[in-house]
Amino acid sequence: MKKTYKIDVDCANCANLMEEEAKKTPGVKDAVVSFMTLKMKVEFEEGADVNTVMQNVLANCKKAEPDCEVFL
Amino acid sequence: MNKKQKNLLVRIIVAAVFFVPVWLISEGIIRVEMPRWALFALFLISYLTVGHDILRKAALGVKNKKPFDECFLMTVATVAAIALGEYGEGVAVMLLYQVGELFQSVAVGKSRRSISELMDIRPDYANIEGEDGKLERVDPDEIEVGSLIVVQPGEKIPIDGTVEEGTSALDTAALTGESRPRSVKAGDAVLSGSINLSGVLRLRTTAAFEESTASKILDLVENAASRKSKSENFIAKFARIYTPVVCFAALALAVLPPVFIALTGIGMSGYEGIGQVFRDWVLRACTFLVISCPCAVVISVPLSFFAGLGGASNQGILIKGSNYLETLSSVSTVVFDKTGTVTRGNFEVTGVHHAEMDRARLLELAAHAECHSSHPISLSLQRAYGKEPDPLRVSDVEEISGHGVLAAVDGQQVAVGNEKLMTRIGAEALPCHEAGTVIHVALNGDYAGHFLIRDELKDGAKETVAALQKAGVKRVVMLTGDMHKVAEQVADEVGISEFRAELLPQDKVNAVEELLAENAGKGKVAFAGDGINDAPVLSRADIGIAMGALGSDAAIEAADVVLMDDDPRKIAKAIAISRKCLRIVRENIIFALGVKAVCLILSALGLANMWIAIAADVGVMILAVLNAIRCLFVKRL
């Protein structure tokens, strides 16, 4: 399953960091962050609970870039 | 500017107000007696005002074990500089860094907005008419297929539909790039995203909001930025490696040379003591850290692509991803499908030859024989006949695929079709001396003459080939299922030197595969078609370009580039846009990396100080962003 989330982040490299973090989060098959459209597209692994996975994605992103936001 | 940006601007101004006089005093430019601790305190106020969020983020980064971010680098560099007594440099670096951040944030926000304005076709509401005749605004998502909606002058058409009532002119510029208004009347199909200019229209919707043209285009454009190009991935990977490498290089620079000098005594001559040696090399290392910020490089590449995609979509060219924009720029061969790309697909009867009987009568018989067929050629015969054929006069219709039609009209056996059909029924077909599609007619088994049918060239078909060559395309090939003679004539008229004729649909895939093989390593192959029956070819080519394909889902699915109208010149324009965009991307990468490399070398040699480093960092970023925005201006390409 794929879902798209709005995000907020200030710099292009930080967006790349968020993408890396999201990709590493368990339950996420693939993630793409577009700094230009401020969107995060997440593809979930089969059977993953979207809400918990996204909470973890957000927590991991916050670690890499304290000033970022993912609008769940 | 948003709240965050305004806040930063205020902090920069306040910090600058403190910084400039204090710096002038500390440099001795203004002679005021001031104790050293007071200077330090004033510098510190300036530093903390402008940089406290950076310090906080750096601390968080260390706490979360992700130290190599810019905030950390800036913090280490500036704190080290201040600790070594270089108050002015330390504060200035933080101040200029924040100026750069602010500029970047404003510039990116602005281009983000102006690009989305270019694509502002999202309808906000739909009007439905209540029983009392009053209009009610509703969310277009809630409108079911087949509902009646009302569009008033000045409003956007929210959902695809057909006009039930009313006439108007539509501005379709946002969809097709065509600036001339299109007039519509009852029965016409209209696309969402166009703007109703003059009259009130009542529409019967033919699609749900989600499935409507405007939603689909927006979806496509919004997803385009997430299909990243090789350049974007390269630069992201580069940043991941670059920053840690430069950081370790900085560490090495701060420790190894001074230790070497201290142990061997070589190079000591310029220094007064070992403490000064360390001080000098640590400052050089701080300069390294300032240069190691990757953002200037990282921002410019996706911004260029995004601006390029936005500029193209404003011209009615939808490119489905940055990666396709990149591939498009290295297209060296363009393959056309003839019908629908070079020619209109609008056949017209241009001559009747070898007919011994009355020509009008011959046409009448042929049109009746073909009256059940919807083949473009049959339709052209019916149009030429000018009247509605009477189906009651026709019986025993037999369509022979690839040959033609046999039918009884007014009791006469009529055969209408190509040469193969004539051979099949034993009539001797006379050849035509002019190029075009020839349709022979036989009556009761005897040859009765033939019609010459021709397709019209599209406007701009001739200029297209020249424009493609100007855009750097080396080879243009035309494919068609039509006869050799027809293909030759069309190719000649538009100036295409290479063509393959008499191809069946599957032959077109083979032809493109051959061209792909011939072209391997020499550039990419693009195929442009009208999206009817050529989805397999569209997906097989390196780049599939579907023309005027807004109606065809299969074509939009299979294509990488969708031209919203069917002007063949847009193919050349799409390539020109991609070339410009990629040139700018390359300029930015080379320029930004080049400046960084030069600064690294200069600072390692002690020739560049932190002022130069931060000026280079911010300057490169500003220039790269401005350069990237040039991708947006593609109207005149």
Q: What is the pLDDT of residue B477?
A: 93
Tokens 């200037």 sit on residue? B296
Residue B105 distance to chain A (closest CA, Å): 7
Which chain A residues are Cβ-neighbours of B61 within 8 angstroms?
Answer: 66
Nearest CB to A13: which of B60, B225, B294?
B294
Higher model confidence: residue B525 or residue B70? B525
Which stretches of B369-512 are assigned E, i.e. beta strand? Answer: 394-400, 404-409, 412-417, 437-443, 446-457, 475-479, 498-500
Pairwise CB contact (< 8 Å): A10 & B69: no
CA-based nearest residue to B69, from A23, A61, A25, A70: A61
Torsion angle (degrees, nearest 10) of CA B420, B424, B425, B430: 30
Phi, psi (deg, nearest 5) at residue B442: -125, 140
Q: What is the pLDDT of residue B204?
A: 92
Nearest CA in chain B to A42: B226
Q: What is the pLDDT of residue B584?
A: 94
Is residue B552 very low, low, confident or very high in pLDDT (cuts 50, 70, 90)?
low
Nearest CB to B222: which of A37, A63, A65?
A37
Torsion angle (degrees, nearest 10) of CA A23, A26, A29, A32: -30
Distance CA B42, CA B32 (A): 14
Distance CA B275, CA B258 (A): 9
Average pLDDT in the B167-184 region? 81
pLDDT above 60: residue B241: yes
Nearest CB to A11: which of B61, B223, B299?
B299
Residue B153 distance to chain A (closest CA, Å): 31
Q: Best-predicted range by mean pLDDT among B451-460, B572-581, B607-616?
A: B572-581
pLDDT above 70: residue B391: yes
Is residue B549 very low, low, confident or very high in pLDDT (cuts 50, 70, 90)?
low
Is residue B12 very low, low, confident or very high in pLDDT (cuts 50, 70, 90)?
very high
Is residue B582 very low, low, confident or very high in pLDDT (cuts 50, 70, 90)?
very high
Question: For A20-34, how does the pLDDT look when each residue is reduced to its tens digit (9 = 90+)?
Answer: 899 999 999 999 898
Average pLDDT in the B234-262 region? 87
Using CA atoms, how far residue B32 sits from B22, B28, B210, B571, B604, in Å, is 10, 8, 70, 68, 35
Q: What is the pLDDT of residue B225?
A: 77
Q: What is the mean pLDDT of chain B?
A: 85
Residue B329 distance to chain A (closest CA, Å): 21
Give the strands of the sheet with B168-171, arranged side by side. B182-184, B168-171, B195-196
Using CA atoms, how far residue B334 sits from B328, B423, B424, B571, in Å, is 10, 38, 39, 9
Is residue B395 very low, low, confident or very high in pLDDT (cuts 50, 70, 90)?
confident
Name the 3-class secondary structure at B357.
coil
Is residue B543 very low, low, confident or very high in pLDDT (cuts 50, 70, 90)?
very high
Between helix B295-314 and helix B610-629 the angle, nearest 10°, is 10
| Pair B94, B74: CB distance under 8 Å | yes
Phi, psi (deg, nearest 5) at residue B397: -80, 130
Pairwise CB contact (< 8 Å): B302 & A14: no
Is residue B327 very low, low, confident or very high in pLDDT (cuts 50, 70, 90)?
very high
Residue B139 distance to chain A (closest CA, Å): 21
| Pair B227, B324: CB distance under 8 Å | yes
| Pair B345, B154: CB distance under 8 Å | no
> What percentage of chain B exceeds 90 in pLDDT?
16
Pairwise CB contact (< 8 Å): B101 & A10: yes
Average pLDDT in the B401-430 region? 84
Q: What is the pLDDT of residue B118?
A: 67
Pairwise CB contact (< 8 Å): A16 & B240: yes
Q: Best-predicted range by mean pLDDT among B293-297, B329-333, B518-522?
A: B329-333
Interface test with A, best of B298, B303, B325, B581 (most A CBs within 10 A): B298
Give the strands of the sheet with B394-400, arranged side by side. B343-353, B446-457, B437-443, B412-417, B404-409, B394-400
Long-range contacts of B388-395 (CB under 8 A, 24+ apart): B393/B368, B394/B368, B394/B369
Q: What is the pLDDT of residue B332?
A: 93
Higher model confidence: residue B133 or residue A24? A24
Q: What is the pLDDT of residue B238?
A: 87
Question: For B269-292, how does the pLDDT look when each residue is reduced to its tens digit (9 = 90+)?
Answer: 767 777 888 888 888 888 888 887
Q: Is some CB atom of chain A closer than 8 A to the CB atom of B1?
A: no
Q: Which residues pair with B203 in a beta bridge?
A: B149, B163
Residues 20-49 of A with CB under 8 A from B: 20, 32-39, 41
Q: What is the pLDDT of residue B520?
A: 83
**All residues at 6 or more sequence positions from B589 whose CB lies less than 8 Å from its CB, including other chains:** B231, B235, B297, B300, B301
Pairwise CB contact (< 8 Å): A64 & B222: no
State which H helix or E strand residue B420 sits in.
Answer: helix B419-425
Interface test with B, best of A7, A24, A33, A37 (most B CBs within 10 A): A37
Is residue B119 very low, low, confident or very high in pLDDT (cuts 50, 70, 90)?
low
Residues 22-61 of B with CB under 8 A from A: 53, 56-57, 60-61
Average pLDDT in the B144-152 region? 89
Pairwise CB contact (< 8 Å): B303 & A36: yes
Whole-model pTM: value is: 0.80
Residue B631 distance to chain A (closest CA, Å): 14
Q: Which residues pair with B544 in a beta bridge?
A: B527
Distance CA B179, CA B174 (A): 9
Q: Is some CB atom of chain A closer than 8 A to the CB atom of B106?
A: no
Q: Catalytic pick from B69, B337, B542, B560?
A: B337
Q: Is some CB atom of chain A closer than 8 A to the CB atom of B69?
A: yes
Average pLDDT in the B581-594 region? 91
| Pair A26, A56: CB distance under 8 Å | yes
Which chain B residues are Cβ-neighbours of A19 within 8 angstroms?
Answer: 236
pLDDT above 60: residue B551: no
Indicate the residue type of B451.
F
pLDDT above 90: residue B2: no
Higher model confidence: residue A54 or residue B213? A54
Range with lowest mean pLDDT among B245-254, B431-440, B511-520: B431-440
Burial letters A9-34, b for 16+ CB under 10 A, else e: bbbbbbbbbbbbbbbebebbeebbbb
Which chain A residues are Cβ-neighbours of B104 within 8 angstroms?
Answer: 11
Average pLDDT in the A47-63 region? 90
Which chain A residues are Cβ-neighbours of B239 within 8 angstroms?
Answer: 13, 16
Average pLDDT in the B92-104 region? 89
Pairwise CB contact (< 8 Å): A16 & B298: yes
Higher model confidence: residue B356 or residue B305? B305
Distance CA B511, CA B172 (A): 36
Q: What is the pLDDT of residue B84?
A: 87
Pairwise CB contact (< 8 Å): B222 & A67: no
Average pLDDT in the B64-93 region? 85
Active site residue B337: yes
State which H helix or E strand residue A29 sits in.
Answer: strand A28-34
Name the 3-class secondary structure at B154.
coil
Q: What is the pLDDT of residue B29?
A: 83
Structural domains of chain B in order of their starting residue, each with its CATH number: 126-217 (2.70.150.10), 345-456 (3.40.1110.10)
As a whole number of Å, the end-to-end CA separation of chain A is 16
Range with lowest mean pLDDT among A14-23, B139-148, B548-557: B548-557
pLDDT above 60: residue B435: yes
CB pairs under 8 A between A and B: 73
Distance CA B464, CA B473 (A): 11
How is domain A2-71 classified at the architecture level of CATH? 2-Layer Sandwich (3.30)
Which chain B residues are Cβ-neighbours of A12 within 8 angstroms?
Answer: 108, 295, 298-299, 302-303
Nearest CA in chain B to A19: B236
| Pair B277, B258: CB distance under 8 Å | yes
pLDDT above 90: residue B585: yes
Distance CA B299, CA B100 (A): 12
Which chain A residues are Cβ-neighbours of B319 within 8 angstroms?
Answer: none
Question: For B337-355, how does the pLDDT look when each residue is reduced to its tens digit (9 = 90+)?
Answer: 887 788 877 778 888 887 7
